[in-house]
Amino acid sequence: MKAQVILVNERDEETGLMEKMEAHEKGLLHRAFSVFIMNDNGEMLIHQRALDKYHSGGLWTNACCSHPMPGESVEAAAHRRLTEEMGFDCPLRELFQFTYRTEFDNGLIEHEYDHVWVGTYNGVINPDPGEVHAFRFLSVDELTRQLLATPGQFTSWFRLAFPKVIEHLRE
């Protein structure tokens, strides 16, 4: 069975289910999440998406992001994908939600109601090479400099969420 996403309205109320690629081809709003991980030095974990991902391959982004499965809570999905993609899990807390829409060169459209989570982790990272080409921790200042200098090296959702994450963490 092909992966499905949860279609939602602008209030994140479920309106149906759809096969993931079909939802991305049609640009329909669906539930998603993004996980940001910090370490005790105040550095953020970013990873370079696998080069052959269906969109945004080779771009740098937050620790992980994906879609909850039908019947799965967003929090459970965030923990599941963090373990699957980066090879670790840690306590997470939800910071905020936002909606965005991005059209890609390959004709796919991300139109997501994105739940943004944050956690702290200092241990071993063992990423799935099918998801992650490379990873590193960067200071917020260095990451901000890189985003300003080379925004095209980062995913669209990361460019949108990163400033809000930093704002929430400073509060």
**pLDDT tens profile 95-146:** 999 999 999 888 889 999 999 999 999 999 999 999 999 999 999 999 999 9
Residue 170 — very low, low, confident or very high, per pLDDT cuts 50/70/90?
Answer: confident
CA dist., res. 142 & res. 66, Å (int) = 26
Number of domains in the chain: 1
pLDDT of residue 52: 84
What is the reported pTM? 0.94
Catalytic residue among 14, 25, 65, 85: 65
Catalytic residue among 64, 85, 110, 112: 112
Which range marks the domain in which residue 87 is found?
Answer: 4-170
* CATH number assigned to the domain comprising residue 38: 3.90.79.10
Instruction: Give pLDDT tens digits for 10-50.
Output: 999 999 999 999 999 999 999 999 999 999 999 999 999 98
C-alpha closest to that of 5 among 31, 33, 27, 34 = 31
Active-site residue flag, 43 = no
CA dist., res. 111 & res. 153, Å (int) = 20
Active-site residue flag, 65 = yes
